[in-house]
Amino acid sequence: TILVLDFGSQYSHLITRRLRELNVYCEMLPCTQKLAELDWTPKGVILSGGPYSVYWDDAPHVDPAVFELNVPILGICYGLQEIAWTFGKNVLAGEKREYGHAYLKIKRHGDGEAGGHVDKLFKDVEDDVEVWMSHGDKLSHLPEDFVSVATTSNAPFAGMAHKTKPLYGIQFHPEVTHTPKGKVILKNFAVDICQARTDWTMGKFVDQEIARIRALVGDKGQVIGAVSGGVDSTVAAKLMQEAIGDRFHAVLVDNGVLRLNEAKQVKETLTAGLGINLTVIDASERFLGRLKGVTDDPEKKRKIIGNTFIEVFQETAKNIAAEAQGSSKAGDIEWLLQGTLYPDVIESISFKGPSATIKTHHNVGGLPKDMNLKLIEPLRELFKDEVRELGTKLGIPEELVWRHPFPGPGIAIRILGEVTPEQVRIAREADYIFIEEIKAAGLYRKVSQAFAALLPVKAVGVMGDQRVHSQVIALRAVETSDFMTADWYPFDGAFLKNVSRRIVNEVNGVCRVVYDITSKPPGTIEME
Ligand code: XMP
């Protein structure tokens, strides 16, 4: 196991992800983790980047025991500063910001005085490579017994290594895809230098998570969690069901803005198909009642839906807890499951650094304090594609595993303007046709997310020799790997023509269809 100590960089989780891609098992813990509290010994340690300067009085530092472990250590960005600070204290040139691409020149030492091991980090990497920089401080000179192993035009010590010990520091970020050889560098460190095993698989993740959940919850504890029918909540729910069976209570809140026939379909798949203990609550009227009259404020829609959701969920949780009390299942419900993924975490939590809050995603951090529930988030470290792999391992049907993501506020944020039952009907029917055609054309998996949005304007058309004045549907389909940036999908004309024809003909109240050709950024995937 490789221990990743997190100093809070926006890229920290990418380190763990890259290691998992190398089939290396790692655990990421806060940078202040006391080693004495671990019941395992890492084969190597990676110190992440972070938004601090080691100069600051309140700058975090690792447990000094890390440096006494005598295992290889790789410091990335702030991690390099941390190593330099530990071994040299006064080696920093002060704050000088550097962001973006840089060219790295690798300095090889051969078997000279520095010893052969200092070259190991850059094995199979060309002498000149592109890297991604994002840092404040830089080194002015090397701490004692370190040698420079890489430079950039701006940083004479963009990489350093200890002459005799397996200690390495790099100023750039190997974990981001903008550093094309980054994965080779991480592999050199984890596999060659640390000799970590490369036998970790998603199957092992399942076993580990199930064991972790059982240990956390105990043999009486009960867990409640909302499911939406999407891949994240279903995978999280299935994992809980495997771990604790019916002591996991799944709740599907029908908020009236789900897709066409969705509540029914989800119920069938989760209960009959996956054996999950599910309660479905139809609260459509309550939601739609509260959305009435909200015309021009997307964040207000999100808040109404988020708050109403919490209210309904809380009521349901109370009822389920009361029932559980009366049955043989002992104990109150004390845990809440959330299917939060890593990208949700960074898009929603604004940190000191550049990942500021973009939208208030209602499935993150919306936990009411008075519920007194402890949070379980088994997918918190994973990215979407990893969750899909996990879902497949858990025997979740293909169709569900590959389902496009669907936002918590549902089609309410795809109905621009007021959400009324009639608008919901139009948006739902158009969306259904669009998705049906995407599937029929064999494109569902190529497109990362697609939907029909309903614009709050009317246009003129002519249908059956009659002048009509009705609404406009905007189709949106994007390709993306991480949902943080996205490009619109280049359907061919014949496909769009067919979808447009069907929607105008089959959906009452629509006379025009347009296709959204905005990438993210500057657009977002959803329209609100
Ligand atoms: P945006 O629109 O921010 O969407 O580009 C990125 C991804 O997040 C989904 N999304 C949401 N999911 N609650 C959710 O659970 C929300 O409020 C929300 N807003 C956007 C969106 O569907 C896309 O997959």
| pLDDT tens column, 33-48 | 999 999 999 999 999 9
336: nearest Cα among 308, 363, 304: 363
Residue 525 alpha carbon to ligand 1 centre in Å:
7
Query: What gap in Å lies between CA 415 and CA 472, rounded to an integer?
Result: 11
Exposure on the CB side of residue 156, measured as CA atoms within 13 A: 8
Q: What is the pLDDT of residue 345?
A: 65
Is the per-residue pLDDT at 350 higher than 90?
A: no
Binding-site residues, please?
228-234
Q: What is the pLDDT of residue 358?
A: 37
Q: Are strands 73-76 and 26-30 parallel, antiparallel or unpaired?
A: unpaired
Which amino acid appears at position 401 of this protein? V
Choice among 26, 31, 77, 194 that is catalytic = 77
Mean per-residue pLDDT, 298-318: 93
Which amino acid appears at position 141 of this protein? H
Query: Is 175 an active-site residue?
Result: yes
CB 482 within 8 A of CB 384: yes
Structure-model confidence comparison of residues 371 and 127, the more confident one = 127
7: nearest Cα among 25, 33, 27, 40: 33
| Measured CA distances, 267 to 136, 247, 270, 277, 410 (Å) | 51, 18, 5, 10, 17
Residue 438 alpha carbon to ligand 1 centre in Å:
21
Q: What is the pLDDT of residue 346?
A: 59
User: What HEC string does 231-293 produce?
Assistant: HHHHHHHHHHHHHHHHHEEEEEEECCCCCCCHHHHHHHHHHHHCCCCEEEEECHHHHHHHHCC
pLDDT band at 81 (very low <50, low <70, confident <90, very high): very high
Who's near 503: CB < 8 A, 6+ residues apart? 430, 433, 434, 452, 473, 510, 513
**Taking the model in full, what pTM does it have?**
0.78
Picking from 343-357, 391-405, 421-435, which range would have the lowest pLDDT averaged per residue?
343-357
Burial class, 396, CB count within 10 angstroms (exposed 0-12 / middle 13-18 / buried 19+) = buried
Q: What is the pLDDT of residue 360?
A: 43
Ligand 1 atom nearest the C-alpha of 347 is 3
Q: Which of 227, 364, 483, 527 to mutate to test the pocket of ligand 1 (most atoms within 8 A of CB)?
A: 483
Q: What is the pLDDT of residue 420?
A: 98
Ligand 1 atom nearest the C-alpha of 363 is 15
Handedness of CA 437, 441, 442, 447 (dihedral sign): negative
Ligand 1 atom nearest the C-alpha of 358 is 3
Residue 226 alpha carbon to ligand 1 centre in Å:
17
Residues near ligand 1 (Cβ within 6 A): 302, 358-359, 361-363, 405, 407-409, 449, 483, 520, 524-526
Q: Which of 414, 525, 527, 528 to mutate to test the pocket of ligand 1 (most atoms within 8 A of CB)?
A: 525
Mean per-residue pLDDT, 232-246: 96
Query: What gap in Å lies between CA 360 and CA 299, rounded to an integer?
Result: 8
Angle between helices 384-393 and 231-244 (to 10 degrees): 40
Q: What is the pLDDT of residue 328?
A: 53
Choice among 13, 117, 162, 173 that is catalytic = 173
DSSP SS3 for 192? helix
Mean per-residue pLDDT, 467-487: 92
Mean per-residue pLDDT, 84-102: 80
Residue 120 alpha carbon to ligand 1 centre in Å:
42
Is the per-residue pLDDT at 5 higher than 80?
A: yes
Is the per-residue pLDDT at 327 higher than 70?
A: no
Choice among 82, 175, 381, 528 that is catalytic = 175
Structure-model confidence comparison of residues 24 and 357, the more confident one = 24
Structure-model confidence comparison of residues 519 and 380, the more confident one = 519
Q: What is the pLDDT of residue 349?
A: 40
Is the per-residue pLDDT at 157 higher than 60?
A: yes
Query: What gap in Å lies between CA 470 and CA 509, rounded to an integer?
Result: 6
pLDDT band at 94 (very low <50, low <70, confident <90, very high): low
Nearest Cα residue to atom 20 of ligand 1:
407
The ipTM (two decimal places) reads: 0.97
CB 312 within 8 A of CB 281: yes
Mean per-residue pLDDT, 78-93: 86
Residue 483 alpha carbon to ligand 1 centre in Å:
8
Q: Find where tokens 């936002």 sit.
A: 407
Nearest Cα residue to atom 4 of ligand 1:
525
Nearest Cα residue to atom 9 of ligand 1:
407
Is the per-residue pLDDT at 480 higher than 80?
A: yes
Residue 478 alpha carbon to ligand 1 centre in Å:
13
CB 50 within 8 A of CB 9: yes
Query: What gap in Å lies between CA 134 and CA 106, rounded to an integer?
Result: 19
Q: What is the pLDDT of residue 111?
A: 82
Query: What gap in Å lies between CA 61 and CA 89, rounded to an integer?
Result: 12
Q: What is the DSSP string of 35-95?
A: GGG-SS--SEEEE---S--TTSTT-----GGGGGS-S-EEEETHHHHHHHHHHHSS-EEEE
Is the per-residue pLDDT at 355 higher than 80?
A: no
Binding-site residues for ATP, please?
228-234
Mean per-residue pLDDT, 116-124: 94
Query: Is 77 an active-site residue?
Result: yes
pLDDT band at 21 (very low <50, low <70, confident <90, very high): very high
Mean per-residue pLDDT, 422-446: 98
Q: What is the pLDDT of residue 356?
A: 33
CB 368 within 8 A of CB 309: no
Is the per-residue pLDDT at 323 higher than 90?
A: no
CB 4 within 8 A of CB 66: no
Is the per-residue pLDDT at 347 higher than 60?
A: no
Q: What is the four-CA torsion angle of 353, 354, 360, 366, rounded to 10 degrees?
A: -20
CB 528 within 8 A of CB 417: no
Tokens of 403: 């389902």
Picking from 130-139, 153-162, 238-247, 290-299, which range would have the lowest pLDDT averaged per residue?
130-139
Is the per-residue pLDDT at 473 higher than 80?
A: yes
Is the per-residue pLDDT at 330 higher than 60?
A: no
